[in-house]
Amino acid sequence: MTVSVSAALLIIGDEILSGRTKDKNIGYIAEYLTAIGIDLREVRIIPDVEAEIVDTVNVLRRRYDYLFTTGGIGPTHDDITADSVAKALGVGIDIDPRAVALLQERYAAHELTEARLRMARIPAGAELIENPISRAPGFMIENVIVMAGVPSIMQVMLDQVVPKLRTGSVMVVETIEAHGVPEGIYGGGLAEIAKENPEVSIGSYPSFSSAGFRNQIVIRGKDPVAVATAREAVRALLNDLKTDQNPL
């Protein structure tokens, strides 16, 4: 029996939408969650606008087992994620003494400005996620996991929180190189195999570089036997086909 645990990722930040900052978190989190048996099913990137954060948090936390967010938990006025999450969940938010204690490991009393204390605003009932790099914590409340946007800090927060999460069966993945057989030639047979093997998902992925096109067929599923069956069918298909000159 396979178990499925689903998740969504919400990236909060004008700077990603303007192209000023290039996201480095999506690929990292996608790969990480896949490896531990949490299926990332949707990603959204939205601006630093409270109403949009509140609405999106509510849609995604209800639709998936977990919602991860990145961004918007620093000390400046545009860091509104914690307050928005509290509003979405209908809970209070205030400066949390546990978070203040963590900040005090880094800042002397006179350095704890009002701005820095924003980083200690934590929704009521949340569990803190420690941040060994710069101390200001993330948090988890219900099924919502709120992390920093700076990749190195997000990554240590993810390490901290993941042991607390339920995980499902790990996806079994088989990648088969098409070795010159074009998509347009194996496409028909691959569709048949996909139809005959509904327990797995089969994708065909062209990539293009200075060396030309390369196609890979990827079979994914939680039942190793079903994945192996589909893999053998794809290998047999490719062996039967001759290559031609058009690699797409």
Of 93 and 135, nearer to a copy of itself (C-beta) is 135
**C-alpha span between 163 and 119 (Å, rounded):** 24
Residue 114 CB, nearest approach to a copy of itself (Å): 5
Q: What's the gap between Cα 29 and its chain centre?
A: 4
What residues have CB less than 8 Å from 233, skipping those under 6 apart? 193, 196, 197
Residue 85 CB, nearest approach to a copy of itself (Å): 18
Residue 54 CB, nearest approach to a copy of itself (Å): 15
Of 55 and 127, nearer to a copy of itself (C-beta) is 55
Of 115 and 124, nearer to a copy of itself (C-beta) is 115
Residue 125 CB, nearest approach to a copy of itself (Å): 26
* Burial 32-55, CB ≥16 within 10 A → b, else e: ebeeebbbbeebebbebeeeebbe
Of 92 and 151, nearer to a copy of itself (C-beta) is 151
Could you write out the DSSP letters of every residue in 167-192?
--PPPEEEEEE-TT--HHHHHHHHHH
Instruction: Identify residue 51 by its one-letter amino acid code.
Output: A
Alpha-carbon dihedral 201, 207, 212, 216, rounded to 10 degrees: -20
Residue 209 CB, nearest approach to a copy of itself (Å): 9
Of 142 and 189, nearer to a copy of itself (C-beta) is 189
**C-alpha span between 30 and 25 (Å, rounded):** 8
Of 11 and 67, nearer to a copy of itself (C-beta) is 11
Residue 24 CB, nearest approach to a copy of itself (Å): 9
**C-alpha span between 159 and 172 (Å, rounded):** 22
